[in-house]
Structures are given as C-alpha cells and as structure tokens.
Amino acid sequence: MTGALEGIKVVDLCSVVSGPAAMATLADQGADVVKVEGLSGDITRGGRPQSPGFAPGFVACNRGKRSIALDLKHADGRAILWRLLERADVVAQNYRPGVMERLGFGYTAVAARNPGVVFLSISGVGPKGPYAKKRVYDPTIQALTGFTDIQADPITRRPKMVRTLVADKTTAIYAAQAVTAALLARTRTGKGQYLEVSMLDVMMSFLWPEGMAPFAVVTEDRREAVATPHDMIFETSDGYVTFGTVSDKEWAGLCRALERPDLVADERFATGAQRSANRQLRMETVEAAIAGFSSDNIIARLEANDVPCMKVKTRREALDDPQVIANNIVVEIDQPGLGRTRQARPAARFGDTPSHSPRPAPALGQHSREILIEVGFGDAQIAAFIDEGIVGAVS
C-alpha cells in the first residue's frame, strides 16, 4: 500500500507557513515534494539559535520533503528550475502577486512548457484590489477579516488576536484540498489549471456559518454584533472546565448535574431561543452554581447526564491526555540538527492508502545532487554548479 498521492511530483517554491504547510500535507500523503530554496534558505529555518537551520516550526511545515538550494538570479539556476517545472505535476508558490511573472516563471510560461501542471498561487489578499501589493502576515488577515472582532474583549471591546497562526494554517488546508481536487479534475480532462488561494478569501469563508451569521440576512443588515461577556470557560474549585448545552435535553442534564432542577422550568431558560436571548444571565447563573465543585467532580456529573464537557488543559497537559494518546496523534521522530522531536501525525487516516508517519525535514540543499541527477545533469556539471555557487549542497 502506498500513499494516496504516490507518484505525484511537486515543486514547492513557498516559504514561511501557509504554502510550506500545504505542501507538507501532500508530502505526508505520498507526493514527492521538492522544496526549492534560495541559497540562504527559508527564513523560518532561523527561528531557533540552538539548532541552526531546524526550528521546530520549519520542521513541522517541511517534513518529508527534499531540498534543493538554487541561485535564481543566475541563468543556470533558472535553467535548473525549468527542468523541475517541466516535470512537475504541481507547482506551488506564495510570492506576492506579480513576482513569479517578473521572474519568468508565472503560470502562463510554465503551462506553455507543461500543459498538465496544477499551478497553485497563495497570496495574502489576491492579485487585485487596494491591498494586493501589501506585505501580509497572519495578524494582518485576522485584523482585516473581523477575526479580531470576534475575539474582542466583551467588556472593553478591545480587539484581540487568536494567539496562533490560524489564517496561515487554515489557508494551508484549503490550498492542499484545492490541489488534490485539481489533480482529480486532470484525470478527467487531461488538463492542468491555475489555482488562486488567498488568506483573505479563506478566512472570510472560514468565518461562516456562525461567525458572520449576524450579518447574513441582507434585509436585517447591521453594523455590529456584540458578544456577551462570557467565554464558556468556567472556574471550578481547582481549575477550569467547559461545556455546552444546545438541546433541551442537554440543558436539563446540566441542571441536574448542578443540582439546580429549578432552572429547567425557569421561563427565562425554557427554550433554546430563550436561553440564547438570556445567554449572559444563563452563564452567570451556571457559573455561580459550579464554583463549589472540583473539576473532576463536575466533569463526572456532566458526563453522567450526557452533557458535552471537558477539563480545560494547558498545551503540555494535552500531550499526555489519554484520548490524545489513544489516537496516537503525537509521534516522535529523530530530526537531524534538532534531535528527538514531537510531531502530530497526519490527521486524516486512509484505509487503503495510508499517509506517511512524520518524516524529518531536509537540511538546506540536502538533496541537491540527487535531484540534479534526476533531471539529467551529469557529475561534472553538478560539481561546477556547486563550485560556482549556483547550487547549494550539503557537503
């Protein structure tokens, strides 16, 4: 059994997070992903001084790939890249709009030599509009899309960021899905195509169905939708828990668990609509009732009444959670240059075409020689490329 994308050749011209993470997903699923880097390497390689070239974030986004380092300012460097592009099933890049065209490697040029290519361009906001030329990072997109409004402090209304690269990583998943869909389309049409995925488009789409629900009905247009102050984190006598009650049955179960059966008949909470209208009061009432319970006690009570619930854990505690362990989510690999390293396995499990278990990320130019041989260069040419600084290779 081989991975679902076994035999697919990918040229990865991406850097930082969104593009590299998308292509790492394809590598996990069996594609041969060649990461093309400049001679100084992807900027995220340098995120950890203790292990030059192998920051944990870089490893996570580039595991299972091969690396070739090229000087694309040199004509021979560009010629080498062309050999890769002519053989590729997929080309991915996340330069700012227009850069690939100026370099001579835009979709039109590549498709002229390789009509079957699936060419992915990831950008911050897309190729048109007032922000198209702006440099964009994850926080920029969170600010633009209203994500920071959803996260805003409910009392002061000060906007807040999600404290993880949610826009970059979500874009990676959307992009990987788009590539596989285009590869499927190619099996039916025989043609490749151009794919455009922007972080802005992704995150605006991601905010539906609930994030933009207050603004969905056009005839009820409004300027703001202020969230209630409660964040669904409840303090117990020794920690924090969360739980949710959507149905009447779950609400009744919560009331029993809290030893407050009177709340079931309370007209302010009798239906889902009434509970929603009185959300803040409901949360404060529940918060007061839960304060005397320990986390273990209230979780046991909630589970006994079939109420969705969980202890709130730190990131480190999550690694040792029995369900995380049962799912074999976290694996350890030996990463050269970094040591024993934890990685999350590919999330999707394939019954007949299993994905690779996480594999190490490459050193800069680690595979330059073997890749050059594969595309037809001889030993003398390769040695000259390296001696002249056109190709970077591990000695």
Within 8 A by CB and 6+ apart from 201, the residues are 126
pLDDT higher than 90, residue 154:
no
The residue-averaged pLDDT of 80-87 equals 98
pLDDT higher than 70, residue 345:
yes
Within 8 A by CB and 6+ apart from 65, the residues are 12, 23, 24, 27, 33, 34, 35, 361, 362
How sure is the predictor about 138, in pLDDT bands with cuts at 50, 70 and 90?
A: very high
Under 8 Å between Cβ of 121 and 100: yes
pLDDT higher than 90, residue 227:
no
The residue-averaged pLDDT of 245-263 equals 96
Burial class (CB in 10 A: 0-12, 13-18, 19+), 378: exposed
Under 8 Å between Cβ of 345 and 329: yes
Enter the tokens of residue 43: 């900027």
How sure is the predictor about 366, in pLDDT bands with cuts at 50, 70 and 90?
A: very high
Question: Beta strand pairing status for 9-12 and 32-37?
Answer: parallel
% of the chain beyond a pLDDT of 90: 93
pLDDT higher than 90, residue 83:
yes
What pLDDT, on the 0 to 100 scale, is given for residue 142? Answer: 98
Which region among 161-170, 216-225, 299-308 has the lowest average model confidence (pLDDT)? 216-225
What pLDDT, on the 0 to 100 scale, is given for residue 82? Answer: 98
Which region among 29-33, 88-92, 150-154, 258-262 has the lowest average model confidence (pLDDT)? 150-154
Enter the tokens of residue 110: 């590549």
CA 290 – CA 286 distance, rounded (Å):
6
The phi-psi region of residue 99 (left if phi > 0; otherwise alpha if psi is between -120 and 50; otherwise beta) is alpha
pLDDT higher than 80, residue 226:
no
3-state secondary structure 189-240: HCCCEEEEEEHHHHHHHHCCCCCCHHHCCHHHCCCCCCCCCCCCCEECCCCE
Closest by CA position to 231, among listed 243, 247, 248 = 243
The residue-averaged pLDDT of 172-182 equals 98
Share the mean pLDDT of the chain.
96
pLDDT in tens, 30-51: 999 999 999 999 999 998 999 9
The residue-averaged pLDDT of 265-272 equals 94
How sure is the predictor about 388, in pLDDT bands with cuts at 50, 70 and 90?
A: very high
Within 8 A by CB and 6+ apart from 55, the residues are 44, 45, 46, 47, 48
CA 258 – CA 287 distance, rounded (Å):
10
Tell whether the torsion through CA atoms of 331, 334, 338 and 339 is positive or negative.
Answer: positive
CA 367 – CA 232 distance, rounded (Å):
49
pLDDT higher than 80, residue 228:
no
What pLDDT, on the 0 to 100 scale, is given for residue 331? Answer: 97
Buried b (16+ CB within 10 A) or exposed e, 16-33: bbbbbbbbbbbbbbbbbb
List of domains in the chain: 9-207+326-392 (3.40.50.10540), 234-311 (3.30.1540.10)
CA 147 – CA 139 distance, rounded (Å):
9
What pLDDT, on the 0 to 100 scale, is given for residue 1? Answer: 61
The residue-averaged pLDDT of 192-220 equals 95
Tell me the chain's radius of gyration from C-alpha atoms: 26
Enter the tokens of residue 295: 């986390």
pLDDT in tens, 123-132: 999 999 999 9
The residue-averaged pLDDT of 254-261 equals 96
CA 111 – CA 105 distance, rounded (Å):
10
The residue-averaged pLDDT of 7-28 equals 98
Buried b (16+ CB within 10 A) or exposed e, 215-224: beeeeeeeee
What is the maximum alpha-carbon separation in the chain?
A: 85
pLDDT in tens, 89-117: 999 999 999 999 999 999 999 999 999 99
CA 273 – CA 278 distance, rounded (Å):
9
DSSP element (H, E) containing 90: strand 90-93
The residue-averaged pLDDT of 216-230 equals 83
SS3 291: coil
